[in-house]
Structure 1
């Protein structure tokens, strides 16, 4: 049913699960099946989950659904909205992933993180720093810099923003220059190692 697929989609976003991982989680975690309103014998496979997500994307319903959920959370006092944590994570995809035209999906790229190569997309999130709920979500190709989507992750009412070293220089970007927030961005590892103990 539609309501079950919508609930599965929400869980997939909240728990940052790939399509195969979402299918596995539904088989393994009874509380997820209960939330989705499905029985063990009715768990959708990863292709069904993927197709449903693409259907939402095709009709730009994913973001509308996300905003609706956040409005409900805010109405119940679960969104404090004074501070945000921004972060990004790579969502892996098989390198053989093809689109309808039997070509590599142009939204997916390879990128190197540390000494390891990854192929897929990057999920960027903005999280309320008090209650830990996601309020903003954006996706890019995996090779896009974390800063690229940073403007989409802030709702504009923040007084403080937290981020890892991937967000160094965020306050200098044109789209953030007029924000009146305190930026708490981690130093790059190389810079941290050269800091004196006094500075630490």
Structure 2
């Protein structure tokens, strides 16, 4: 069933399409471990299974299990972590206070009442935020978090850190004096971009440091691009936060699995050359 969910997100299939493809494609059956004589679960079974995983918090367990396996294979470098967040707009429309009150009295499964709004660059967005902590070098995602759109990115900073990194990178949304002091004390490189304030513009040295830090910080953009474009999270189409969170975690897992395959091949090519 879990392998079926991977296929669904890798190929952006609906539940009925997943059932049809498992019936028609021998390669899908082999990957899912379904013998030819075994009946394929119907699409509603996949829906209920995914819902049970999401409600029980088991997708987070699955993410930790896969990440642990990647770490055991030496694919996670632990040189540093890039923290980043992206807005995932809801497919629904903003609700007035009156409409929300009516839905509290008479809930509808067809209307997303969990999404809320935020503003970025003068534009208002309704939806959620996906947060990731990315391993520097390998670009594998080590930590994930999913919130409504309104909480500030910095509220998830500690959640996205693994505790064994030698450097921490992030954009101007994550400056923290306490973290900076902690990094100095523990010998961790503090790579959060410096932020200008009113009557306190950035100095020339700060601008140069920011340029160097951005070269590493952009590692977080690559997983988000795949999560949105390849794994179906360009828009939050589900009607509840828990279902959208489940889709986001599965998309992050798909990125890690595909990325780990290409990264392992790269490591295999680099290591023998380095040894000689």
Common fold: TM-score over 0.5: yes
Q: What is the TM-score when the length of structure 2 is the normalising length?
A: 0.52
Instruction: Give secondary structure in 2 for the equivalent of 1:194.
Output: coil
Deviation at residue 53 of structure 1 after TM alignment? 5.0
Preserved contact between residue 83 and residue 128 of structure 1 (Cα < 8 Å): yes
- Residue 162 (1) aligns with residue 152 (2): no
Q: Which has the greater radius of gyration?
A: 2
More helix by share: 2
CA displacement, residues 114-139 of structure 1 (integer Å, 9 cap, x when unaligned): 12111111111000012100000011
Deviation at residue 195 of structure 1 after TM alignment? 3.3
Alignment coverage as a number of residue pairs: 175
In structure 1, C-alpha distance between the alignment counterparts of 2:108 and 2:81, rounded to whole Å: 39
Q: Residue 73 and residue 64 in structure 1: after superposition, are their counterparts in 2 closer, same or farther (change >3 A)?
A: same
> Cα RMSD over matched residues?
4.0
**What are the equivalent positions in structure 2 for 1:1-200 lying under 5 Å apart?**
1-8=1-8, 11=10, 22-23=12-13, 37=31, 53-96=50-93, 101-102=107-108, 105=112, 107-169=114-176, 171-172=177-178, 178=182, 180=186, 181-188=188-195, 194-197=201-204, 200=208
In structure 2, C-alpha distance between the alignment counterparts of 1:67 and 1:118, rounded to whole Å: 30
Preserved contact between residue 76 and residue 140 of structure 2 (Cα < 8 Å): yes
Q: Which residue of 2 aligns with 1:30?
A: none
Q: Residue 142 and residue 198 in structure 1: after superposition, are their counterparts in 2 closer, same or farther (change >3 A)?
A: closer
Preserved contact between residue 107 and residue 140 of structure 1 (Cα < 8 Å): no
More strand by share: 1
Q: Which has the higher contact order (CA 8 A, sep 6+)?
A: 2
Q: Which residue of 1 aligns with 2:256?
A: none
Deviation at residue 165 of structure 1 after TM alignment? 0.7
Instruction: Give secondary structure in 2 for the equivalent of 1:89.
Output: strand
Preserved contact between residue 67 and residue 142 of structure 2 (Cα < 8 Å): yes
Q: What is the TM-score when the length of structure 1 is the normalising length?
A: 0.69
Deviation at residue 50 of structure 1 after TM alignment? 7.8
**Is there any run of 5+ residues in structure 1 with no aligned partner, and where?**
12-20, 28-32
In structure 1, C-alpha distance between the alignment counterparts of 2:28 and 2:163, rounded to whole Å: 32
Instruction: Give secondary structure in 2 for the equivalent of 1:137.
Output: strand
Bigger shift: residues 66-75 or 96-105: 96-105
Deviation at residue 106 of structure 1 after TM alignment? 5.3
